[in-house]
Amino acid sequence: MTDAPALLPVEDARARVLERVDPLSPEWVPLDDALGRALAEDVVARRTLPPWDNSAMDGYAVRAADLTRPLPVRLSVGETVYAGHVPTRPLQDGECARIMTGAPLPPGTDAVVMREKTRAAEGPGDAVDILEAVAVGTFVRPRGEEARAGEVLLPRGTPLGIPELGLLWAQGLGAARVPRRPRVAILSTGDELCRPDEPPEGRIVDTNAPALALAVRRAGGVASLLGIARDTRADVEAALARAEGFDVVLTSAGVSVGERDFVKDALEALGVQRHFWRVAIKPGKPLLVGTRGATLFLGLPGNPTSSLVTFELFVRPALRRMLGHVQVEPPRVPGRLEGALSKPPGLAHFIRVSAAWREGELWAHPLATQTSGVLRSAALATHLLHFPQAANSLAHGAHVELLPLSWVG
């Protein structure tokens, strides 16, 4: 293998990653385990919902035609219908029904007058004065407004969020067919690293592996930590050999040009086909992507913020594709730049910013520290600001593209 002669633009690099992943094999899972995945097949409604016309207000179910004479119109109250109960009979001319929100409309009625537009009638018997005329359908939730039995309720590829799962529960469903969760192995490399429970003694705590594991979990995958490989080719190869059977393998560090960066050579020795190495971005330039069989390998930079940024730009979209999502690109929102920025052309910069709404617009304030080894700026960031590859300056107030960060919140 030979290294690519030029740095890949970020969009091309992401497209090359996504070309090499597909939705994973489907499985039936309980609905509360399907959150965050996308449907592997159409879901057809088995129930018509609501099953009857029902009231959207506490008030009185009426015939709209009875209210065409001069107001107020006095109607006798034939019955009271509570939510969870059904009417006992059709209403006669000159009758209405006292009705509660969600209760079925009695046969013969076609509108609801809200209680605030009525008053109790004086005199004997149960009657009400209607103070406002209403049109047919007023404050009525029609039968089948949400779903009709036999129609496609949610098509294949629909992301399953909380409202979508609510629709499935309402249909009496307890499970959904969705792609299985990606299995992701995570390996850190470097003699300088130690575990959080070890005495540092001149080393630094490996934060990349546990942080990436949390990012994988938040993206819908299942993470497994392979530990820390020391800076020898044999140790890196031995650690990577333990990644057999995973859908994705993430390595941290060891993919640059240092004399003890062995990840590229170790992957080659294990039969991984390298598709590209290095992307025209900052932070995160030394990114490596390869495959062996159906397993996707991504060699991420070792600096903590670079690792998280490249996860957002490349790994998370791949995991979303594996989970069956159709829209997998990082989300973007428009914003305005607070202050000014400059850089040499040639690399797309992803600037950590803290963004807040002001006068109807999202203003992005670049954080003071942009070095890739400082996690504190990542902790303070709410978005990444995309400073395009060909640009060399952005003026105060410039319209910019912001990427909300999945690690926030």
What mean pLDDT value characterizes the chain? 93
Partners of 79 in the β-ladder: 97
CATH 3.40.980.10 residue ranges for the chain:
10-24+181-322
Evaluate if residue 256 carries a pLDDT over 80: no
349, 394 contact by CB (below 8 A): no
Q: In which band, very low, low, confident or very high, does the pLDDT at 248 lie, cut at 50, 70 and 90? A: very high
Alpha carbons 367 and 138: distance in angstroms, whole number = 53
Write the CA distances from 84 to 62, 136, 359, integer angstroms. 20, 24, 46
User: SS3 of 275, please?
Assistant: strand
Residue-wise pLDDT for 62-78, tens only, equals 999 999 999 999 999 99
Q: In which band, very low, low, confident or very high, does the pLDDT at 253 lie, cut at 50, 70 and 90? A: confident
Evaluate if residue 1 carries a pLDDT over 80: no
Alpha carbons 17 and 8: distance in angstroms, whole number = 12
State the CATH architecture for 54-141. Beta Complex (2.170)
Give the mean pLDDT of 92-104. Answer: 95
Alpha carbons 187 and 189: distance in angstroms, whole number = 7
CATH code, 333-404: 2.40.340.10
Alpha carbons 288 and 306: distance in angstroms, whole number = 13
Identify the pLDDT of residue 2: 45
pTM: 0.89
Give the mean pLDDT of 268-295. Answer: 93
State the CATH architecture for 28-44+152-179. Alpha-Beta Complex (3.90)
Nearest to 76 by CA among 90, 93, 100: 93
Q: What percent of the chain has pLDDT over 70?
A: 97
CATH 2.170.190.11 residue ranges for the chain:
54-141
How many degrees, rounded to 5, is the angle at CA 244 between CA 238 and CA 248?
A: 110
| Domain over 10-24+181-322 is classified CATH 3.40.50.720 | no
